[in-house]
Structure 1
Amino acid sequence: MQPVNTSLYWKVCLINGAVLCTAVVVLLLSPARVSRQVVVSEALVLVAGLGLVLLVTAVLLRRALAPVDEVIREMATVQLGGEGRQLEAAGDGPGAQLVRSYSAMLERLETERRSSSARALAAQEAERDRVARELHDQVGQSLTVVLLGLKQLEDRAPADLCGELSLLRESARAGLDDVRRVARELRPGVLEDLGLQAALSALANDVAAYGGPAVRRTFGPGLPELGHDAEVVIYRVAQEALTNVVRHAGASRVELSLLRFGPDVVLEVGDDGGGIRPGTPDGTGIRGMRDRAALVGGTVEVVSGDRGTMVRLRVPA
């Protein structure tokens, strides 16, 4: 037979009732008496008895309710999407049970959050692959046909139309290049074919080729073999960091490095741009980087000042 768990409310009532009853019995059995005209000694006895009752009550209730107050304080400070501090409580009282239930709830919520993020990011990668294939197979093929048709039409057209047709053909070629670039960004085939370092180099070259600042690359020796998921996370974080540099930083110099520090592989993307203003909340891109890193047990740190911004990703090797 399992013990019956009395609610916290009734425990408080029983504790207060027991203390007050004990105090009354002590006062009744003591030699002190309350006369019609209260003397100083009787008043002192009553005050001392009341103080004793309040002290004992405060001590007992503190032991019972202190864990509850700790849980309330922790619930007020825990952040959405962040891990709460694990609380500890000894004993089998209602306060200790509440603390253990709260810790178990945090663990379930964190597990579900990571699982949901993993499913969402996996679906996002699958959608990227689908869109990239459609761009390459359908839009790219259609633009290739348009290019060939314009070339044949230009060869047979009158001389006064050749210039306009040539401009149209160059515009179609530029559109085809853009489609291929977007497809490559959505689905980095070089990552699967040549590996992470080659993919990061291609990403850095694309930034400079399309009007961004020059990216200096550093790859440390002895980098370990990483799983596919970890390589995708590193590539996507670098891609998002470089995209933010091009869009917002106004930088003239960017450094990208992939090194090993102890048990971790560390990716750093730093620039000399304007930095992030203090107090600015994290945007969708930074939150996305942190969610991706959490899937492989990594962390993302963003350090910004007057001399630029540094995005640092740590992934266990």
Structure 2
Amino acid sequence: MHIPSAGYFYPLTQAPVKHIIFFTPLLLIVSNVLLGQDTLRLTPGFRQIELLEWGQLYRTPDTELGVEGLKHLPDHGWSSLSSTDGAFFAGKDLLWVKVYIRNSGATPLPLLVQSKEVRTNRIAFFWAPAESPPLASPLMGDYLPFGNRMIGHPTYLFPITLEASQEGVLYICYDKREETITIQPQLWEPAAFEEGDRKSRFLMVLFLGALTCLVVVMAVLGLIARQGLLLSFALYITSGLLMVFVITGYGAMYLWPNHPYWNGLGYLFLIFFHVSLLEMARLYLGLRDGAPLLHRLFQLAQVALLLVFMPGVLSYPVLGGFLKIWLGRSGLLLLLLINLGITIACIGTYRREGRGGALLFLLAFMFSLIALALFEIEQLGSLNTPWSMELTLLFMLLDLLTLGGLFGHYLRRTFIQNTQLSEALSRSQLKAANALLLGQYKERKRLSQELHDGISIQLALLKMRLSGEPSGQLTQVEPVLEDLTRISENIRNFTHAISPALLEEEGLIMAIEALTGQVADQAGLEVSTQLPEAEQVRTLSRLQYYSVFLVVQELLSNTLKHAGATRIRLSLEFTDACTLHYCDDGKGLSVDEVNMGLGLAHIKDRAALLGGTFDYYPADSGGGCFRFVFPVSIVS
């Protein structure tokens, strides 16, 4: 990070001459009492010092914060800053801190003053070295547009240089009106500041980057999987991430205007944080069915947060004093009730269902409570704890890691359960499909048997009786005998079509070869087949190879009736699936013909019953092709 030089700040010599004339005696007085004060003596090689232990405090009324304010500061009556622990309630007084500093070395000593309270309304630094013109920083703070803060760092910095053996007085003036304030001034050796700041900012960027990536992943997964739990978790992380931006000052630097109106953004994000927390509790703990009363109470709390307290926070600067007090106290009461309700819901779910995940959810909730408490400490400035921000991030990280692991396990278990249900449903559907195919197979076999054993035998007997008629009547009987012969032949062909004996006796491959050979002989078509060995077909169940034969039969019939083809190519392949390819060089089919054809619709239904597909696509050399595929592993 680039630290500005002292030239970034304007010297008091640029102020009006009357200010300088007035200020010179004041400097002489200060220099006369320096030796009697607690002086911070610095030597080359120091790295960092907390000025809380060395500073002195004085309060003044709300006067102009600047050189004019310095004129009214007394020499006596200052109290020790360390006795206050640096924590102050909001008020109308200005808080002045002064530190006497001396360079005990023989070389110039560059220094960097830092104030870490990023939500200070107004702040100014003054450096009054002995026997040299004083320096002052520009007026900074979140009451000013963009805070007059260097864009490279979220805190307030003021560089000074002590010449060899030089003494001086550092003044810092704080103005905090709306909330309490924690004063944490520090004095740094610039190289040490750069080193520590680089590490802390790297960790902060890593932390914020990881949370941002997690938000994006959760949001995308939630939208794809339509999981409200993941979307609520994404909002939960986002709200926590924005609260981190508030307490670190990065939000005012990069995300929203550094203006008094936006000072309450931390509470706005706190509202979204609790809304998403309630939603996660409702969904994960299953309160809709397990605890309907808590489910409705949580919904009412969400409505109150969004419709009452969120507008109150957004309009807070224009509210009257009574409304501000009511909003703050009622909001605190509601948050306490929400925390109590979530605790009861977790314990109740564990006692009711024995789910260990409910206790883990409660543990993560406790982590979030600790993080929120520390966040409030930072937000209100009610305690001067240098580790409060780091602990806030630590417990927030523990909360998110616990919830992330918990929800990951929950979604994995839900996915496995859904997969098992889907597989069970698929097995049930396949079982029903096999039962249907088996029923069709049995019905076709029964009908073929009845036609063969019933009508065919009766026709044969009738033919024999007619053949025994006197010779004088043969001329009248012969046409009838020819009709009977043709009818018998048609019935025989029909019985073989619906339940081919060759399929039962010789198997699928021989039956397909016989059928295609018959079509080639009778229709004069060129039929080429590429069929596997009979051993490979034995992996199919009876219903599966019976279905393949019927599909081949239907496709050949479709070619003979509609295609006007001269050549047919048929192949059957076995890998993990059984694939039937059928092509002819006919006129092909349109989309409407494929969708409206009754025979093709039956094939498509049969493929679905076998867990497969049936597709049509135009052949490269003209005509059309069909592909009938189903998995071989699914056996009745």
Q: Does 1:132 align with 2:445?
A: no
Q: Deviations over 1:12-35 (max 9, x none)?
A: 76534312333244246x4x2269
Give the number of equivalent residue pairs.
253
**Match 1:247 to one of 561, 574, 582:** 561
Contact kept in structure 2, 1:117 and 1:291, CA below 8 Å: no
User: How far apart in 1 are the matches of 2:596 and 2:313?
Assistant: 63
Match of 1:19 in 2: 306
Provide the C-alpha distance between the structure 2 equivalents of 1:117 and 1:312, rounded to a whole number of angstroms: 20
Answer yes or no: is the 8 Å Cα contact 1:212–1:246 preserved in 2.
Answer: no
Would the alpha carbon gap of residues 200 and 3 (structure 1) be closer, same or farther in structure 2, given more than 3 Å must change?
closer
C-alpha distance in 1 between matches for 2:586 and 2:481: 38
SS of the residue corresponding to residue 180 of structure 1 reads helix
Aligned partners of 2:430 and 2:611 also within 8 Å: no
Contact residue 251 and residue 273 of structure 1 kept, 8 A = yes
Q: Distance in 2 between matches of 1:103 and 1:233?
A: 29
Q: What is the CA–CA distance in structure 1 between the aligned matches of 2:423 and 2:625, rounded to whole Å?
A: 31
| 3-state SS, counterpart of residue 302 of structure 1 | strand
Calculate the TM-score normalised by the size of structure 2: 0.35
**Structure 2 CA distance for partners of 1:148 and 1:284, relative to 1, 3 Å:** same
Does structure 1 residue 256 correspond to structure 2 residue 570? Answer: yes
1:309 equivalent in alignment to 2:624: yes
Alignment-mate amino acid for residue 551 of structure 2: V
Deviation at 1:177, TM superposition (A): 0.9
Q: What letter is aligned with 1:273?
A: G
Partner of 2:439: 123
Contact 1:265 / 1:315 at 8 angstroms: preserved in 2?
yes
Task: Please state whether the residue corresponding to 1:5 is helix, strand or coil.
Answer: helix
TM-score (structure 1 length as normaliser): 0.65
The higher relative CO (CA closer than 8 Å, separation ≥ 6) is in 1
Secondary structure of the residue aligned to 2:527 is strand
1:311 maps to a residue whose letter is F
State the AA in 1 paired with 2:566. S
Counterpart in the other structure of 1:300: 614
1:148: Cα distance to partner? 1.8
Distance 1:241 1:228 in 2: 20
Instruction: Indicate the SS of the match to 1:200.
Output: helix
Aligned pair partner of 2:479 in 164, 167, 181: 167
Q: Rate the CA distance shift 1:259–1:157 in 2: closer, same or farther, 3 A.
A: same
- Residue of structure 2 equivalent to 1:145: 461
Partner of residue 583 from structure 2, selected from 244, 249, 270: 270
Helix, strand or coil: the match of 2:589? coil
181 and 144 in structure 1: CA distance in 2 versus 1, 3 angstrom threshold: same
Map residues 198-217 of structure 1 onto 2, 5 A cutoff.
198-208=510-520, 211=523, 213-217=525-529
Q: Give the aligned partner of residue 549 of structure 2.
A: 235
Call closer, same or farther: CA 1:315–1:109 in 2, change over 3 Å: closer
Q: Structure 1 residue 194: deviation in Å?
A: 0.6
Cα deviation per residue 1:122-181 (whole Å; 9 max; x = unaligned)? Answer: 22222111110111001110111122223222xx312xx434433322221111111111
Distance 1:296 1:34, change over 3 A: closer
CA distance in 2, matches of 1:189, 1:243: 19
Identify which of 183, 189, 195 aligns with 2:495: 183
Distance 1:100 1:16 in 2: 34
* SS of corresponding position for 1:257: strand
The CA distance in 2 between the partners of 1:10 and 1:269, in whole Å, is 65
State the percentage of identical aligned residues: 24
Return the offset for 1:107. Answer: 6.6
Does the aligned pair in 1 maintain the 2:584–2:624 contact within 8 Å? yes
Deviations 1:17-58 (A, max 9, x none): 312333244246x4x2269xxxxxxxxxxxxxxxxxxxxxxx
SS state at 2:318 partner: coil
Aligned residues of 2:616 and 2:627 also touching (Cα < 8 A): yes
The whole-number CA distance in structure 2 between the counterparts of 1:223 and 1:289 is: 25
Work out whether residues 242 and 269 of structure 1, in 8 Å CA contact, stay in contact via their aligned partners in 2: no
Over the aligned positions, Cα root-mean-square deviation in angstroms equals 3.8
- Residue 268 of structure 1 contacts residue 312 of structure 1 at CA under 8 Å; is this kept in 2? yes
Q: Residues 433 and 610 of structure 2 are in contact (CA less than 8 Å); yes or no, is this contact kept in structure 1?
A: no
Alignment deviations for residues 66-95 of structure 1 (CA, whole Å, 9 cap, x no partner)? xxxxxxxxxxxxxxxxxxxxxxxx959xxx
Residue of structure 2 equivalent to 1:40: none
2:614 and 2:581 mapped to 1: Cα distance?
Answer: 10
Q: CA deviation at 1:108?
A: 7.1
Give 5+ residue unaligned stretches, structure 1.
36-89, 93-97
**Structure 1 range deviating more: 244-253 or 221-230:** 221-230
Cα 1:103–1:286 shift into 2, 3 Å: farther
Q: 1:10 and 1:114 mapped to 2: Cα distance? A: 46
CA gap of 1:222–1:209, structure 2 versus 1, over 3 A, is: closer
